[in-house]
Amino acid sequence: MSIKNLSPILAAGAIALSAIPAFGESTQSSNRNVFCQVNNGIPTTVANVQGEIKSIFHWRNEVLPKSANAQQLCNSVSAKLANYSSLKGFGGHDQGGLPTICAENSPGECSLVLFTLAPTDNAIDESERVLAGILDSGLAKDKQVSNARGIQSTYYPVDFWYLLGLKFNK
């Protein structure tokens, strides 16, 4: 095959490769309401509610520990939330010395581990610091403090059915 014949093939390949980053900004699936997308350079877990995008987590590097990968956390947590329907809120937990962010069915109860961070001296404080730093301010406004089983923890109630567009207004 001559170079003259290869030129259209190479041009088409170059165009196809250059289009990948434009589509790579979002991991949205057409059948999921929760997904990861990049907003202003920040990976963000969002919910698509009847065509309106509502932010859940903003994966800011300045809030996350240096060892954390914001894009990987966004993708992983978004996938977990897309398949979880019992969410009542979010909370920070100590799971064997590991700071852990959980979806909760009730305050203080880790129902689904969303992600775990590196061990630290005070896992509760670290998990609550990270959760407060990444949770969208609209969801963080109803912060509650729980003393479940004698351990103080912070709980952010979330009307997840509404967030997913599954609750109808009266």
Residue 10 lies in a domain: no
Mean pLDDT to the nearest integer, 23-50 = 75
- List, for residues 127-146, the tens digit of each pLDDT value: 999 999 999 998 888 888 76
- The predicted structure's pLDDT at residue 166: 60
pLDDT exceeds cutoff 70 at 36: yes
Residue 126 lies in a domain: yes
Residue 8 lies in a domain: no
Q: Which domain covers residue 149, as residue numbers?
A: 26-163
Mean pLDDT of the chain: 78
Strands 42-49 and 110-116: unpaired
Residue 93 lies in a domain: yes
**Of the ranges 86-90, 110-114, 138-142, 144-148, the best mean pLDDT one:** 110-114
Predicted TM-score (pTM) of the model is: 0.74
Strand extents, DSSP E, 40-124: 42-49, 52-58, 89-95, 98-104, 110-116
Residue 2 lies in a domain: no
Residue 104 lies in a domain: yes
- The predicted structure's pLDDT at residue 8: 42
Per the structure, how many domains does the chain have? 1
Residue 3 lies in a domain: no
73 CB contacts (<8 Å, ≥6 apart)? 43, 59, 64, 115
Is the Cβ–Cβ distance between 46 and 35 less than 8 Å?
Answer: yes
- Type of residue numbered 74: C
Residue 109 lies in a domain: yes
